[in-house]
Amino acid sequence: MLELKKVTKVYEVGEQQIMALNNVDITFRKNEFVSILGPSGCGKTTLLNIVGGLDKYSSGDLLINGVSTKMFKDSDWDSYRNTTIGFVFQNYNLISHLSLLDNVEMALALSGVSVKERVNRATKALDSVGLIDHINKKPNQLSGGQMQRVAIARALVNDPDVLLADEPTGALDSKTSVQIMDLIKEISKDRLVIMVTHNSKIAEVYSDRVINLLDGKVINDSNQVNHDEVLEVQAKKDMKKTKMSYIAALKSSFKNLFTKKGRTLITALAGSIGIIGISLILSLSNGTNAEINRTQEEAFSNFPITISRMTITDFFSNTANDDLTSYPDSDAVITESNDGGFATHYNNISTDFVEYLRGLNSSTYSEISYQYNFPLHIYNKNGNIYKEVLENGFSYTSGTKTDNLSSYDLLEGEYPESEDELVLVVDQYNQISRYTLSDLGLSVSGSYTLSDFVGLTYKIATNNVYFKQVDGVYTENTNLEEMYNNNESLDLEIVGVLRIKEGVENGNLNEGINALPSLQTKLHDNALASNIVIAQNADKTINVFTNEAFNDQLTFDEINNAIGGDESPVSINIYPKDVDTKKDIKDYLNAYNIGKAEADKVIYSDMSESFTGMITKIINTIALVLSALAGISLVVSSIMIGIITYVSVIERTKEIGIMRSLGARKKDISRIFNAETLIIGLTSGLLGVITCLILIIPANMIIEHFTKVNGLMKLNPLHALILIALSSGLTLLSGIIPSRIAAKKDPVIALRTE
Ligand code: ADP
Ligand code: MG
């Protein structure tokens, strides 16, 4: 039983007010066939929409089984439409991209009926209107009469109490009209049917009651409900809330996207471009970093860990402090906190530290070499001419147990065995630098053979030879001949010429003159035991060169350093056995600093690591910049997908109206559009990743051709997943506004659009 009480509906169009219904009072019986007659524009459709809960009355009330609907919420109207009302429209209002079965199922899907039951009931409903053979056809494959039957089946599938039909035969020929009217008459046997028509003949033949409307007012009612008539009240129907499942929403979106395969594919392709870009860049930078790490492990594992008095802790540090102002007005000059643009740390390599280093597990390194500071004065004799040579010293065959010399071919002479033996190292072309030649006291313009170098001899003036005490102060000896011939001077001889073996990439000797580390130890010990050092350390306040007291300008440390009196090393090289022990060594060195003040910390440097670290940093920065660019295309494509979704919303306005008339909540509508953008985003993500994986194959071939590195580009599976999620997320985000717009559409207006 439905009751309209003084229902008025006013539409406002701009300034104008259109009164579509004017104080309409009608009571409908539980079971009757009512026809609403009236000329076009008199308010028939409006009346039907208000009874069906599709449109809201402006004033008055609609009573459902005696209950007022004044306090109805959106969700109450939604479930009222879904459970109690069935709509049939003049223009059928079928969803064109769904099959007949899916069209009929839609009403059930909205109320959350299980798939199996849905198919069952929808098939039955289609059978009852005689369309069992066509259930998989699309609406456009049917005749008008058949389409109207589908609409009737859809209206009946939920077994509603009320069937509302708005000119159901308006678009049909008279023969088909009769069939449809017979069907509706049949339906009206056990429910209320309210049919709008302007055909008075049909109204008279089929219905029990004819109501005439004019200008929004009831002007005649052929079978009005009497005051004393006892009305049958509908058994209270379970108005359970409609709720479309996410799966049903996804399925609907899938079907829609599938009917527009071409557009969907192009959209997804456009969306995938950003993903392809980012994933290619990520694969390249990942692969390059992995390759660098691998080469580092291979090639640099025998590079030493170095501890020097000064170490650069950050190549990229900013020289300016954060609290400095640029272009200051003040005239103060500020001492830079960093040196040469690098962050530096001064290591105090104390005897404590050297002692600590002796505790390092000897299985982790092949050698530890200590470099010391001491005066080095070397002379040669050429005929009667004495000359100071090798003024810049030479390299020590660092890290060499002699087996490390095994990566060198002996071209001439012998390998050095004792500290008084030197070797000359030439490069792969047998070259030596002019610098080395002149250092050795040889003419830069001469031509030489390997044997010319073997057998060259030199003398090192030790501290006792070089520093003489004259008149109570020490002075430097300037008599080269005397020093050269002094018994205390040490002999040096070049005993061999070495060249790196073919195919060995990293030798550990420097080109030029090399001595064994034991020479350094000997010279350092010698300096420590020399007269001048002993004298200087006996009284640390007086400078042994002047007999004057030290002051701020000249300190004991400076002099003691210059004469080789400093016991602690200037630098230490630790040669790890391999990559793993290198880590152990670093752990051991780091442990020394725990709990120490900043100034007492000893910070090592790992040349190979800082080198590769720098490259890695550069690569990552480049990758970031490129990713940002690719990211822009991702954003652009997301916006594009948003626009396409908006277009889709406009296109599907009618469909939105139909679904709302079937009881879809606003939420269900936005859910369907969100599902649609999600599918597009997911597809473009997947498409992007797959395209990237395909592109990597030829890209790697090209890279291998040029660099001999195989399989450089690799896409990290985690990155792939993140990118797919990103693509889905972004497109979902871009679709939120259009899907909101869709959800907010007024169902009545939506239904009126073509
Ligand atoms: P009928 O179905 O009898 O032809 P309607 O119920 O569709 O008439 O319309 C009744 C009146 O209300 C008409 O004058 C129509 O122009 C007006 N009307 C209907 N819907 C709207 C609307 N959404 N906005 C403004 N005016 C409307
Ligand atoms: Mg109408």
Tell me whether residue 294 is in a domain: yes
Q: How many domains does the chain have?
A: 2
Among protein residues, the one whose CA lies closest to atom 7 of ligand 1: 45
Q: What is the residue-averaged pLDDT of the chain?
A: 87
The two tokens of residue 681 are: 């985003």
Residue 602 · residue 569 · CB < 8 Å: no
C-beta 252 within 6 A of ligand 1: no
Do both 190 and 261 map to the same domain?
no
Among protein residues, the one whose CA lies closest to atom 26 of ligand 1: 11
> pLDDT-derived band of residue 246, with 50, 70 and 90 as boundaries?
confident
- Which residue from 10, 11, 90 has its CB within 8 A of the most atoms of ligand 1, so it is best to mutate? 11
C-beta 357 within 6 A of ligand 1: no
Name the residue with higher pLDDT: 249 or 140. Answer: 140
User: DSSP letters along 627-646, please?
Assistant: HHHHHHHHHHHHHHHHHHHH
CA distances, 9 to each of 48, 141, 491, 609 (Å): 12, 38, 119, 80
d(CA 208, ligand 2 centre) in Å: 21
d(CA 1, ligand 2 centre) in Å: 24
Q: What is the pLDDT of residue 319?
A: 55
Do both 57 and 203 map to the same domain?
yes
Furthest CA-CA distance within the chain:
150
The two tokens of residue 637 are: 């494509």
Tell me whether residue 264 is in a domain: yes
Tell me whether residue 206 is in a domain: yes
Tell me whether residue 251 is in a domain: no
Tell me whether residue 386 is in a domain: no
Do both 181 and 119 map to the same domain?
yes
Whether the per-residue pLDDT at 506 is higher than 70: the answer is no
Residue 249 · residue 671 · CB < 8 Å: yes
- d(CA 506, CA 515) in angstroms, rounded, equals 19
C-beta 541 within 6 A of ligand 1: no
Residue 166, beta-bridge partner list: 89, 196
Tell me whether residue 170 is in a domain: yes
C-beta 20 within 6 A of ligand 1: yes
Tell me whether residue 674 is in a domain: yes
Give percent of the chain with pLDDT exceeding 90.
44
Residue 412, beta-bridge partner list: 497
Do both 54 and 133 map to the same domain?
yes
Q: What is the pLDDT of residue 235?
A: 61
d(CA 105, ligand 2 centre) in Å: 26
Do both 274 and 137 map to the same domain?
no
C-beta 597 within 6 A of ligand 1: no
- d(CA 215, CA 41) in angstroms, rounded, equals 7
d(CA 81, ligand 1 centre) in Å: 21
CA of 49, closest atom in ligand 1: 6
Among protein residues, the one whose CA lies closest to atom 10 of ligand 1: 43
Do both 140 and 24 map to the same domain?
yes
d(CA 21, ligand 2 centre) in Å: 13
Do both 177 and 291 map to the same domain?
no
C-beta 749 within 6 A of ligand 1: yes
The two tokens of residue 121 are: 């009931």
The two tokens of residue 311 are: 């170490």
Q: What is the pLDDT of residue 224?
A: 87
Residue 344: count of CB within 10 angstroms of its CB: 17
81-85, 190-194, 288-292, 691-695: the lowest-pLDDT one: 288-292
C-beta 18 within 6 A of ligand 1: yes
CA distances, 529 to each of 253, 379, 391, 535, 569 (Å): 91, 22, 22, 10, 16
d(CA 750, ligand 1 centre) in Å: 14
Among protein residues, the one whose CA lies closest to atom 12 of ligand 1: 20
Do both 120 and 145 map to the same domain?
yes
Do both 157 and 48 map to the same domain?
yes
- d(CA 203, CA 229) in angstroms, rounded, equals 24
Do both 27 and 123 map to the same domain?
yes
Q: What is the pLDDT of residue 400?
A: 45
Residue 156 · residue 189 · CB < 8 Å: no
414-423, 628-637, 733-742: the lowest-pLDDT one: 628-637
CATH number at residue 207: 3.40.50.300
Q: Is 164 helix (H, G, I), strand (E, B) or coil?
A: strand
Residue 244 · residue 113 · CB < 8 Å: no
Whether the per-residue pLDDT at 403 is higher than 60: the answer is no
d(CA 196, ligand 2 centre) in Å: 8
Q: What is the pLDDT of residue 288?
A: 84
Whether the per-residue pLDDT at 476 is higher than 50: the answer is yes
CA of 12, closest atom in ligand 1: 25
C-beta 54 within 6 A of ligand 1: no
d(CA 166, ligand 2 centre) in Å: 7
- Which residue from 13, 16, 18, 213 has its CB within 8 A of the most atoms of ligand 1, so it is best to mutate? 18
- d(CA 420, CA 220) in angstroms, rounded, equals 132
Which residue, chain included where needed, has tokens 């025998």? 302
* Domain that residue 621 falls in: 256-299+614-752
Q: What is the pLDDT of residue 402?
A: 46
Q: How far apart are the first and last CA of the chain?
A: 33
Whether the per-residue pLDDT at 192 is higher than 70: the answer is yes
> pLDDT-derived band of residue 401, with 50, 70 and 90 as boundaries?
very low
Whether the per-residue pLDDT at 182 is higher than 80: the answer is yes
Decide which of 213, 241, 269 is a domain's last residue. 241
Among protein residues, the one whose CA lies closest to atom 17 of ligand 1: 20
- d(CA 118, CA 245) in angstroms, rounded, equals 13
Tell me whether residue 516 is in a domain: no
Q: What is the dihedral of CA 358, 361, 365, 369, to 10 degrees?
A: 0
Amino acid at 642: G
Whether the per-residue pLDDT at 424 is higher than 60: the answer is yes
Whether the per-residue pLDDT at 561 is higher than 80: the answer is yes
Neighbour-count burial of 112, counting CB atoms closer than 10 A to its CB (0-12 exposed, 13-18 middle, 19+ buried): middle
Closest CA to 98 of 110, 90, 106: 106
Q: What is the pLDDT of residue 398?
A: 62
C-beta 14 within 6 A of ligand 1: no
Closest CA to 398 of 434, 432, 365, 368: 368
Do both 204 and 289 map to the same domain?
no
Do both 130 and 272 map to the same domain?
no
Among protein residues, the one whose CA lies closest to atom 13 of ligand 1: 41
Full-model pTM: 0.62
Q: What angle do CA 261, 262, 266 make, to 5 degrees?
A: 115
C-beta 45 within 6 A of ligand 1: yes
Average pLDDT over residues 624-652: 83
